[in-house]
Every structure is written in structure tokens, then in C-alpha cells.
Amino acid sequence: MPDTKPILLTGASGNLGRMLTKELSAAGYTLRLTDIVPFPDELPKGASFVKADLTDSLAIVRQAEGCGTILHFGGVSVERPFEEVAGPNLHGLYHIYEAARMFGARVVFASSNHSIGFHERPQGNAAKLDADCAFRPDGYYGLSKVYGELMGRLYWDKHGVENVNIRIGSCFPKPINKRMLATWLSYPDLARLIARTIEAERVGHCVVWGASKNPDSFWAEDHRDRLGWAPQDTAEDFRAEVGHIVSDDAVEERYQGGGYTSIEYSRKGGFSPRDQFDLE
């Protein structure tokens, strides 16, 4: 049965927010939607929308009051200069966690594979990454996701605020290139995952790789057992269509973060410290 307390969804006007609004409303959840831009669709039954800026702490507190779960999908969602990322993704995230602490809500944080994007793609029998791997952000956006996951760690340890950090790979209607055969997360798999983050009895602080059941996945162990979630879809269905599509950028093709790793990439004489100095 759906949680009887309202669910706050930030970033509701984005592609994932709109999809989740539709799916969660259809499942019977009461939603409070917020974004810095108007909601572009007709509001479904049981949903309300308030335009709000994540940097406005009072607005966030007002929307979070009485909610059982905060689904935090708001903020800058692509690589941008640091000053553009800092306001919504750093200060805004703090306001989310303070509101969760005040009202005893669980936070579900839309983290990203870009928090670990400078790990190399596994080749052959190389080990895949577990959820406790080192952070290696591939830009300011990825760095903000590291901050978000560590904020969740702090608020669980210090205040007992439960949080689920979903390191979303590539969440689109279908994969569009070879890399996404490893990173793709289907809309239905995300919707089912979010429902479990709301309904799971106890989660503590946990990290889940946000990817469908992809044989080429870069990622291995995480905390999904706490949620009772397992992906049902697979990028393998699209291999013939997109498996040959790669870029001509050697940096992009080497690292897990793909194109984000080559944005403003200025390392000279090689790809990584390991290449130049024989260091890990």
C-alpha cells in the first residue's frame, strides 16, 4: 500500500520528474511537486505544484512539512560552471536535508554515475565497481553529487535521517550508444526503484547503482537488498541497434563518465597519472 504521508518531489518539471509524477500518482501516492519552472503537464489526481527555488530554505521547509519522503531530483542536472552548480546543488541540498531532519522524512537523492566518472571502464575480466568504491567525479556536476552522498552520510550518522542515494547511469527511453549498454536505466525500472525507496521499512544510509539488468554493466555490489528491488529491463535488447555507436574521443571512450570526462579536459601528455607516472 502507498505511504499515507505526502511525498515531496523536487525537480518535478524535468523529464524524470514528469515521468515519476505520472507513475507515482497512478500508484496512489499523494505528491507535492516543486521546481524552479512551471510544471508543463496537467496535474494528476492527488498532486499539487508550487514553484520554488531550492536556495529558498523557507520555501523548501513549507513544502516538506508533513512529508514522509523527499524525492530530490531538483538542481542543475548537467555539467555547468561551478558557480551555476553551487547554489542549487550544494546550498539547495543542505536545505533538503535540514527539512528532512526537522520533519523526520526519508531522503531519496538522485545521485549520478558522474560522481565516479573518472574510473576507467572495466576491460575483460577486470573487477567492476562496488558501491563503496572511491569517488572520482568527472566535473563540477559530479562533484556536487559526491557532496550530496556525503551529506546523506553525515545526516544519517549525526541525525538518523534515512537516505537512499541512486547513482543514476543513463535514464532515457532507450540507450543511444554503446556506452549505454552498460549504464542504461529504463523508466519503468526507475519508477519501480523509487516505489521501493518509499515503501522499504528500513534503509539507513544506502547507495544503489541506477542501472537496468545490463550484462555490460560497469557496476557490481550495492545496497539494493535493503529495498527489495531488482531491475527487470535490459539494454541488451538494443545491442544490434546501438552497439556500434561510439565517439571519436579517446578520453570519452576510456572512462565511465563518457562525454562528461572530456569537457574542459586539459591533461597533457596522456590520459591519467597512471599513464605518466606509473601511479594508480
CA dihedral 155, 198, 110, 89 (to 10 degrees): -50
The reply to whether 187 belongs to the active site is: no
Are 190 and 232 a contacting pair, CB within 8 Å?
A: no
The DSSP line for 137-153 is -SSHHHHHHHHHHHHHH
Rounded Cα gap, residues 122 and 114, in angstroms:
16
DSSP 113: G
- Give 92's contacts (C-beta < 8 A, 6+ positions apart): 53, 54, 55, 60, 74, 75
Within a 10 A sphere around the Cβ of 33, how many other Cβ atoms?
27
User: Position of cell 555507436?
Assistant: 245
Q: Which member of 140, 141, 147, 155 is catalytic?
A: 141
**Residues taking part in catalysis:** 141
